[in-house]
């Protein structure tokens, strides 16, 4: 069981682009719009029937919606006819108590209009309900793919990408996609149907007035063509800025104690203000530029409305068109520009969404950890538990840190890895657990090259206790059981006692059912370290990796832990990353590293006799000389 990837301050980090606060690369627009859009649609491929139903309902809703103005216009025409007839009768001297308006027919028309509006609303509700299920299911699949991918990418991906950027892709970009699929996909269809349907209804009333209304279309196209690409650019920058802002906020909250202790609150606030301002500048530009499309479209539409009203009034006066049809036509004129405006806004939204989808697909397209094979025959008679044969390794394309390293580790031996800060001590740990693969040579476990083993099978032989304690939000009992889910309650309690955890846990109000909060900050650092050691007891690994596991506890607790460690390490193979050389004098093998490379190997006596780098390092810790080679 591996507790967490081995990282520390002294690990040489692989080179590569970092997408952190200092990144200057901003995504402006999708690199391949149609390819990404089609790929996103493929995630909905198992919902094609639902999509067809949604589109049918959306079209039906629009048809009922655009038919009602002309039908309602008949009621206006009936009222107009009744009034005009009454006026004519008054002029003829016919006595009457009111105007001869056919209210029964008007009532029938109004009832039909109400039923049509109700049908339109019902179809709209049904398509929205179904589309919500489809969109959320699609994004669910996308999130599941994303989560699965994050488990398959190599450790180097986490080393070269900030947590904030990854979280932004997993949360913000996913939400952006969900909102677009849920709301804007059907709106695109309804906008097209509304435009075509409204145009047809206008033509059935008056082709001359329709031509007048169409004059505004070229101007609308110009507005959309000029403004939409500009807003698209800023929407892409907005999403990227949001990811950088998330990264900074996460870092600040995670390190709030350190920030306060060094009186860096104002510096972090200044940094936040700068990043927040970058996000604000890109966000307001994106929203403002996309927002001015609607007012401009309304202005153009109102111009057309004025001309239609004037010429339509003249046609009514001449008896060429009924008053009801002119009323309906004016309503259609108002509706006519809405689909164009909506499509303009949709263009911005869709561009932003495709940019988000592209960021998600970038992760899904990352190279995965491959199940490589060494093509080396297994050694059935290998007396060593772990063997490093002529190992060559370097991060990415950097110079090799190991060029021809050999090490034999027998069952029950202790191997210590020492060196000054920045020497690269965790490199060997990374290789043992296959966080990185060797560039040459071989690492064998029980005679089998580790590249011929599944990573899960390989890591089941290991347990790790790191300097950086990692405990998840949950009960103490569940955290202890994390190393071995089939462990019994008695085994959990026995491990807790062996690691001197039982005494302080039972003093907590809820004992082993105490819920640790985020980062387990409701217990002390020393107690967190003890819990990780107890977790290693529960895991009962064949090979134990310790990264200066007692460095975060007080002297009294360290004594208890050292006694517990003696029991834990008994008859167990271990690799100990040590900073205090006094703790590893009894190690069977000591690997000495400097500047990322192995410089010496041997036990304590052999290395001291060489009077080399290890001897200088050892003597400096006891002589007070802090200068190290």
Mean pLDDT throughout 401-426? 83
Residues 528, 138: Cα–Cα separation, whole Å: 40
Residues 174, 163: Cα–Cα separation, whole Å: 16
Q: Is the pLDDT of residue 12 over 70?
A: no
CB 14 within 8 Å of CB 160: yes
Q: Is the pLDDT of residue 628 over 50?
A: no
Q: Is the pLDDT of residue 33 over 90?
A: no
Q: Is the pLDDT of residue 625 over 70?
A: no
Mean pLDDT throughout 8-31? 40
Residue 454: pLDDT band by 50, 70, 90 thresholds?
confident
Q: Is the pLDDT of residue 626 over 50?
A: no
Residue 87: pLDDT band by 50, 70, 90 thresholds?
confident
Q: Is the pLDDT of residue 229 over 70?
A: no
Residues 82, 88: Cα–Cα separation, whole Å: 10
Instruction: Provide the pLDDT for residue 264.
Output: 79
For 378-414, letters b (16+ CB in 10 Å) and e give eeeeeebbbbbbebebbbeeeeebbbebebbbeeebb
Comparing CA positions, the residue from 159, 160, 153, 158 lying closest to residue 370 is 153
Residue 118: pLDDT band by 50, 70, 90 thresholds?
very high
Instruction: Provide the pLDDT for residue 94.
Output: 65
Residue 30: pLDDT band by 50, 70, 90 thresholds?
low
Say how far residue 566 (Cα) sits from the centre of its chain.
Answer: 43
Question: Best-predicted range by mean pLDDT among 234-243, 277-286, 396-405, 597-606?
Answer: 597-606
Mean pLDDT throughout 340-355? 75
Instruction: Provide the pLDDT for residue 443.
Output: 92
Residue 84 is encoded by which pair of tokens? 């005009």
Residue 554: pLDDT band by 50, 70, 90 thresholds?
low
Percent of the chain with pLDDT over 90: 4
Residue 98: pLDDT band by 50, 70, 90 thresholds?
low
Rg (CA), the chain: 37
For 551-574, letters b (16+ CB in 10 Å) and e give ebbeeebbeebeebbeebeeebbb
Backbone phi, psi, residue 303, to 5° = -60, -45
Instruction: Provide the pLDDT for residue 122.
Output: 94
Q: Is the pLDDT of residue 501 over 80?
A: yes
CB 373 within 8 Å of CB 451: yes
Instruction: Provide the pLDDT for residue 627.
Output: 43
Instruction: Provide the pLDDT for residue 119.
Output: 92
Q: Is the pLDDT of residue 18 over 70?
A: no
Q: Is the pLDDT of residue 617 over 80?
A: yes
Q: Is the pLDDT of residue 244 over 50?
A: yes
For 575-613, letters b (16+ CB in 10 Å) and e give bbbbbebebbeebebbbbbbebbbebbbbbeebeeeeeb
For 35-44+131-364, give the CATH class. Answer: mainly alpha
Residues 450, 447: Cα–Cα separation, whole Å: 9
Q: Is the pLDDT of residue 4 over 70?
A: no
Residues 71, 612: Cα–Cα separation, whole Å: 99
Residue 420 is encoded by which pair of tokens? 């000054």
Q: Is the pLDDT of residue 480 over 80?
A: yes
Q: Is the pLDDT of residue 519 over 70?
A: no
Q: What is the 3-state secondary structure (H, E, C) of 101-114?
A: CCHHHHHHHHHHHH
Q: Is the pLDDT of residue 230 over 80?
A: no
Question: Best-predicted range by mean pLDDT among 195-204, 252-261, 439-448, 561-570?
Answer: 439-448
Structural domain boundaries of the chain?
35-44+131-364
Residue 269 three-state SS: helix
Instruction: Provide the pLDDT for residue 2.
Output: 39
Residue 417 is encoded by which pair of tokens? 């890895």
Q: Is the pLDDT of residue 115 over 90?
A: yes
Residue 69 is encoded by which pair of tokens? 């103005």
Comparing CA positions, the residue from 326, 239, 217, 249 lying closest to residue 283 is 239
Mean pLDDT throughout 286-315? 78
Which region among 12-16, 89-93, 227-231 has the lowest average model confidence (pLDDT)?
12-16
Q: Within 10 A of 614 (CB to CB), how many other CB atoms are there?
A: 24
Q: What is the mean pLDDT of the chain?
A: 79
Residues 494, 311: Cα–Cα separation, whole Å: 93
Residue 485: pLDDT band by 50, 70, 90 thresholds?
confident
Residue 417: its H or E element: strand 414-418
Mean pLDDT throughout 117-128? 90
DSSP 514: P
Q: What pTM does this model have?
A: 0.64
Instruction: Provide the pLDDT for residue 24.
Output: 33
More confident residue, 558 or 169: 169
């Amino acid at each position: 069981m591996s507790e967490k990837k081995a990282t520390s301050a002294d690990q040489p980090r692989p080179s590569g682009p970092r997408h952190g606060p200092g990144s200057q690369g901003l995504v402006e627009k999708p690199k391949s719009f149609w390819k990404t859009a089609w790929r996103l649609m493929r995630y909905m491929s198992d919902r094609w029937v639902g999509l067809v139903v949604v589109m049918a309902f959306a079209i039906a809703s629009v048809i009922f919606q655009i038919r009602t103005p002309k039908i309602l216009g008949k009621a206006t025409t009936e009222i107009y006819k009744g009034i005009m007839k009454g006026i004519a009768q008054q002029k003829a001297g016919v006595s009457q108590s009111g105007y001869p308006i056919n209210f029964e027919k008007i009532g029938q028309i109004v009832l039909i209009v109400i039923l049509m509006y109700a049908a339109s609303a019902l179809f709209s509700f049904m398509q929205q309900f179904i589309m919500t299920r489809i969109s959320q299911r699609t994004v669910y699949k996308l999130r599941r793919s994303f989560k699965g991918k994050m488990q398959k990418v190599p450790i180097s991906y986490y080393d070269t990408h900030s947590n904030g950027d990854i979280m932004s892709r997993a949360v913000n970009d996913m939400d952006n996609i969900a909102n677009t699929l849920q709301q804007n996909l059907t709106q695109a269809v309804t906008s097209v149907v509304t435009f075509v349907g409204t145009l047809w209804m206008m033509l059935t009333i008056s082709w001359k007035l329709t031509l007048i209304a169409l004059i505004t279309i070229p101007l609308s196209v110009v507005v959309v063509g000029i403004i939409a690409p500009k807003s698209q650019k800023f929407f892409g920058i907005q999403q990227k800025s949001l990811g950088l802002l998330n990264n900074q906020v996460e870092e600040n909250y995670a390190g709030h104690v350190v920030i306060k202790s060094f009186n860096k609150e104002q510096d972090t606030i200044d940094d936040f203000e700068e990043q927040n301002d970058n996000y604000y500048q890109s966000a307001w530009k994106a929203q403002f530029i996309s927002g001015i499309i609607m007012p401009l479209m309304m202005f153009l539409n109102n111009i057309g409305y004025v001309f239609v009203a004037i010429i339509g009034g003249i046609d009514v006066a001449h008896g060429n068109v009924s008053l009801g049809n002119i009323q309906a036509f004016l309503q259609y004129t108002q509706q006519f520009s809405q689909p164009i405006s909506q499509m303009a806004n949709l263009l911005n939204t869709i561009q932003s969404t495709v940019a988000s989808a592209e960021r998600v697909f970038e992760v899904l397209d990352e190279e995965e950890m491959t199940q490589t094979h060494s093509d080396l025959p297994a050694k059935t008679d290998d007396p060593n538990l772990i063997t490093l044969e002529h190992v060559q390794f370097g991060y990415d394309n950097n110079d090799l840190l190991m060029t021809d390293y050999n090490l034999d580790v027998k069952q029950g031996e202790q191997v210590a890895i020492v060196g000054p800060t920045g020497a690269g001590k965790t490199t060997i740990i990374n290789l043992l657990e296959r966080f990185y693969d060797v560039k040459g040579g071989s690492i064998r476990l029980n005679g089998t090259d580790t590249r011929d083993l599944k990573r899960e099978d390989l890591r089941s032989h290991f347990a790790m206790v790191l300097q950086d304690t990692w405990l998840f939000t949950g009960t103490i009992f569940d955290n202890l059981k994390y190393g071995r889910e089939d462990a019994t309650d008695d085994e959990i309690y026995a491990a807790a006692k062996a690691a001197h955890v039982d005494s302080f846990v039972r003093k907590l109000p809820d004992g082993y059912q105490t819920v640790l909060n985020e980062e387990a900050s409701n217990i002390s650092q020393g107690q967190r370290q003890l819990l990780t050691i107890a977790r290693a007891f529960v895991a009962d690994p064949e090979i134990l990796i310790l990264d200066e596991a007692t460095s975060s506890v007080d002297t009294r607790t360290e004594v208890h832990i050292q006694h517990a460690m003696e029991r834990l390490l008994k008859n167990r193979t271990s690799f100990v990353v040590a900073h205090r050389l006094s703790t590893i004098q009894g190690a069977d093998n000591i690997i000495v590293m400097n500047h990322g490379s192995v410089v010496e190997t041997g036990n304590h006596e052999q290395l001291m006799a060489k009077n080399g780098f290890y001897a200088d390092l050892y003597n400096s810790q006891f002589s007070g000389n802090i200068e190290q080679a």
